[in-house]
Amino acid sequence: MLTLGVLRGDGIGPEIVDSATRIVERAVAGGSVDVRWCELPFGLEAIGEFGTPLPETTLAELAGLPGWILGPHDNAGYPDRFRGTLSPGGTIRKHFNLFANIRPARSLSTAVPAVCPDLDVVIVRENTEGFYADRNMYDGAGEFMPTPDIALAVAVFTRTACERIAHQAFQVATVRRKSVIVAHKANVLAKTTGLFRDACLAVAEHYPDVEVRGEHIDALAARLVSHPRDFDVIVAENMFGDILSDLAGQLSGSLGMAPSINTSQIHAMAQAAHGSAPDIAGRDIANPVAMILSSAMLLRWLAGRDGGIRALGDAADRIEVAVGRVLDAGVGTPDVGGSASTSSFTEHVLAALK
Ligand code: ATP
């Protein structure tokens, strides 16, 4: 029996998380392992009940689990007292040191229109420091205002964090097309992104089979659109990686199809690259693909651990094939030009898994 956590989150979270858990259950059914879900309070609902979007009891339960599914959270919809504090998702990443955010983006089906159908890239995003000031302080926030008209933010880059994310990127590239591009802006931000670039290039020495080079983030963003085939793995600091992965997700079809996992050595968290999409919440039209494929990534990560259960990797493969088949058959949610609802798309994937 494998127990995994479920945090359904805000906005479209409950709709897409329910879709993903049903599909995981179907994919592992009849195999050598049963999955049991441990649903934990998180998000707006938890504020109502516990006075915080991330109760201590949730963190304590997660500590005993190897992995979990995190629905998106809607910080902007939280009461004012939570403004300027670390988001609940950021807190989980920091608490469990989930330093690597792996975000693949590729076209999943020729039936889904894409600006860059040839794009097949993995963005490896550093998750614990960089330009996101909200997670950069031991105590207090890394953004502050000395006067009402001046705002300051603190960026943090440490060699240790740059090196460990670089190792992760090279390991991903080793089993792909063996190329890593290091995103930086060292012509302007010489110390911070310069350290990131130099640490990544130094780590490259351990991976002689992998091609590596640095590229300015702005030029890189333009080239991602003009020359999508040139990219295999991109390693980036926190904010650059976040922005690039939304761009890559949309270029390859829809933000609603861009999956991700966040990992440490001992825990993994499935989390769609997109947010809580409050504009479409509760209407049964959200695309569940990103959440479904994030869950498949979680299963594959669990299978790849020491003593991992191979059946979980097989289940992940089956989920990916089933989603591809459904999309190939022209079934898709409105964001990809289709007319399927979240629930009918889910039923199609469940049927394809039979
Ligand atoms: P965050 O700050 O949490 O990233 P955001 O509002 O900046 O939130 P999203 O919530 O990702 O960004 O939404 C951006 C746009 O993409 C919205 O118009 C939203 O409806 C759309 N979108 C996001 N996810 C999906 C999805 N799964 N299915 C369909 N549309 C989506």
- Taking alpha carbons only, the member of 212, 235, 202 closest to residue 103 is 235
Which residues make beta-bridge pairs with 102? 124, 261
pLDDT surpassing 80 at residue 281: yes
Q: Is 280 in the pocket of ligand 1 (CB under 6 A)?
A: yes
Q: Are residues 193 and 205 in the same domain?
A: yes
Substitution site in 255, 291, 327 for ligand 1 pocket (most atoms within 8 Å of beta carbon): 255
Q: Are residues 235 and 347 in the same domain?
A: no
Q: Where are the alpha helices (DSSP H) in the chain?
A: 13-28, 44-50, 56-63, 88-95, 159-174, 192-204, 217-226, 238-251, 289-304, 310-328, 342-352
**Six-digit token string for 307:** 């003593």
Of 252, 285, 308, which one is at a domain's C-terminal end?
Answer: 252
Q: 85: pLDDT confidence band, cut at 50, 70 and 90?
A: confident
pLDDT, residue 233, reads: 98
Please classify residue 91 by burial: count the beta carbons closer than 10 Å to its beta carbon, then call 0-12 exposed, 13-18 middle and 19+ buried.
middle
DSSP string spanning 118-184? T-EEEEEEE-SSBT-GGGS-SSS-SEEEEETTEEEE--B--HHHHHHHHHHHHHHHHTTTSEEEEEE
**Six-digit token string for 352:** 């394809």
Of 252, 287, 322, which one is at a domain's C-terminal end?
Answer: 252
Q: Is 126 in the pocket of ligand 1 (CB under 6 A)?
A: no
pLDDT surpassing 70 at residue 118: yes
Instruction: Identify whether 110 is part of a domain.
Output: no
Residues 184-236 pLDDT 10s: 999 999 999 999 999 999 999 999 999 999 999 999 999 999 999 999 999 99
Distances (CA, A) of 16 to 13, 52, 57, 111, 181: 5, 23, 24, 21, 32
Rounded to 5°, angle at Cα 203 from 201 and 207 = 105
Q: Calculate the average pLDDT of the chain.
A: 95
When pLDDT is averaged across residues 113-126 and rounded to a whole number, the result is 96
pLDDT surpassing 90 at residue 83: no
User: Do residues 273 and 245 make contact, with C-beta atoms less than 8 angstroms apart?
Assistant: yes
* 31: Cα separation from own chain's centroid: 27
| Ligand 1 centroid, distance to 273 Cα (angstroms) | 9
Q: Is 87 in the pocket of ligand 1 (CB under 6 A)?
A: no
pLDDT surpassing 90 at residue 133: no
Domain count, the chain: 2
Of 234, 252, 270, which one is at a domain's C-terminal end?
Answer: 252
Q: Are residues 266 and 243 in the same domain?
A: no
Q: 308: pLDDT confidence band, cut at 50, 70 and 90?
A: confident
Domain CATH number, residue 339? 3.40.718.10
Which protein residue has the closest C-alpha to ligand 1 atom 20?
A: 277
Burial 263-276 (b: 16+ CB within 10 A, else e): bbeebbbbbbbbbb
pLDDT, residue 142, reads: 87
Percent of all residues in the chain with a pLDDT value above 90, rounded to a whole number: 87
Which protein residue has the closest C-alpha to ligand 1 atom 26?
A: 256
pTM of the full structure:
0.93
When pLDDT is averaged across residues 6-32 and rounded to a whole number, the result is 95
* Single-letter residue type at 350: L
pLDDT, residue 307, reads: 73
User: Do residues 248 and 105 make contact, with C-beta atoms less than 8 angstroms apart?
Assistant: yes
pLDDT surpassing 70 at residue 84: no
Instruction: Give the largest CA-CA distance in the chain.
Output: 62
pLDDT, residue 283, reads: 97
Q: Are residues 280 and 323 in the same domain?
A: yes
Instruction: Identify whether 69 is part of a domain.
Output: yes
Cα separation, 138 vs 83, whole angstroms: 18
Q: Is 276 in the pocket of ligand 1 (CB under 6 A)?
A: yes
Q: Is 277 in the pocket of ligand 1 (CB under 6 A)?
A: yes
Residues 87-100 pLDDT 10s: 899 899 999 999 99
pLDDT surpassing 90 at residue 239: yes
When pLDDT is averaged across residues 32-39 and rounded to a whole number, the result is 92
pLDDT, residue 56, reads: 96
Q: Are residues 242 and 131 in the same domain?
A: yes
Edge-to-edge strand ranges of the sheet holding 211-216: 35-39, 2-7, 67-70, 268-270, 261-263, 100-106, 120-126, 233-236, 179-184, 211-216
When pLDDT is averaged across residues 301-308 and rounded to a whole number, the result is 84
Substitution site in 274, 287, 327 for ligand 1 pocket (most atoms within 8 Å of beta carbon): 274
Q: Are residues 157 and 197 in the same domain?
A: yes
pLDDT surpassing 70 at residue 104: yes
| Ligand 1 centroid, distance to 246 Cα (angstroms) | 10
| Ligand 1 centroid, distance to 186 Cα (angstroms) | 31
For residue 246, the ligand 1 atom closest to its alpha carbon is: 11
**Six-digit token string for 79:** 């009461």
Residues 163-192 pLDDT 10s: 999 999 999 999 999 999 999 999 999 999
Q: 72: pLDDT confidence band, cut at 50, 70 and 90?
A: very high
Which residues are catalytically annotated? 132, 185, 218, 242, 246
Domain of 212 in residue numbering reads as 115-252
pLDDT, residue 136, reads: 78
Q: Are residues 245 and 120 in the same domain?
A: yes
Which protein residue has the closest C-alpha to ligand 1 atom 21?
A: 277
Q: Is 275 in the pocket of ligand 1 (CB under 6 A)?
A: yes
